[in-house]
């Protein structure tokens, strides 16, 4: 009886050691995946912020003091109108050519991935 207990105990220790090894291997794989996800999220946030800044370019042009140009007012106005029209066109980034990368789509992706994570966890 004691020999069987000792043998089973050794088997349990061996299985636990293998489980810890598998956990370490998974941790190595998961670190790379999670790190790349963090980098990807930061890149997407930077792109979203650059789109937000770009949306304010036309109003910044309007408030740039163009009315103080006395000699070339008509020419400056035409140039300003063309530049403002160009600045008001929204630039859309596409993910895989399918999903437009906007703040709304980013929030929905983050919400759905968090929901999936919370259900699986």
pLDDT confidence of residue 109 = 79
Q: Are residues 71 and 109 in the same domain?
A: no
The model's confidence at residue 20, banded by pLDDT at 50, 70 and 90, is very high
Q: Are residues 7 and 65 in the same domain?
A: no
Collapsing DSSP to helix, strand or coil, 94 comes out as strand
Q: Are residues 41 and 94 in the same domain?
A: yes
What is the C-alpha to C-alpha distance for residues 76 and 69, in angstroms, rounded to an integer?
Answer: 8
Residues 6+ apart with CB under 8 A from 79: none
The model's confidence at residue 10, banded by pLDDT at 50, 70 and 90, is very high
Q: Are residues 46 and 16 in the same domain?
A: yes
Q: Are residues 48 and 98 in the same domain?
A: yes
What is the C-alpha to C-alpha distance for residues 100 and 104, in angstroms, rounded to an integer?
Answer: 9
Q: Are residues 46 and 9 in the same domain?
A: yes
CB 58 within 8 A of CB 84: yes
Which domain range does residue 25 map to?
2-55+90-120
Q: Are residues 73 and 23 in the same domain?
A: no
| Range 81-102 average pLDDT | 77
pLDDT confidence of residue 60 = 82
CB 88 within 8 A of CB 58: yes
């Amino acid at each position: 009886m004691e020999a069987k207990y000792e043998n089973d105990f050794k088997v349990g220790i061996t299985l636990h050691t293998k489980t810890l090894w598998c956990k370490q291997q998974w941790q190595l794989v998961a670190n790379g995946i999670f790190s790349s996800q963090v980098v990807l999220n930061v890149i997407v946030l930077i792109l979203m912020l650059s789109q937000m800044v770009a949306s304010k370019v036309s109003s910044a042009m309007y408030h740039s003091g163009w009315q103080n140009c006395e000699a070339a007012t008509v020419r400056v106005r035409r140039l300003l109108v063309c530049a403002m029209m160009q600045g008001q066109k929204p630039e859309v980034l596409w993910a895989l050519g399918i999903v437009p990368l906007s703040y709304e789509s980013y929030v929905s992706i983050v919400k759905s991935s968090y929901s999936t994570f919370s259900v699986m966890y």
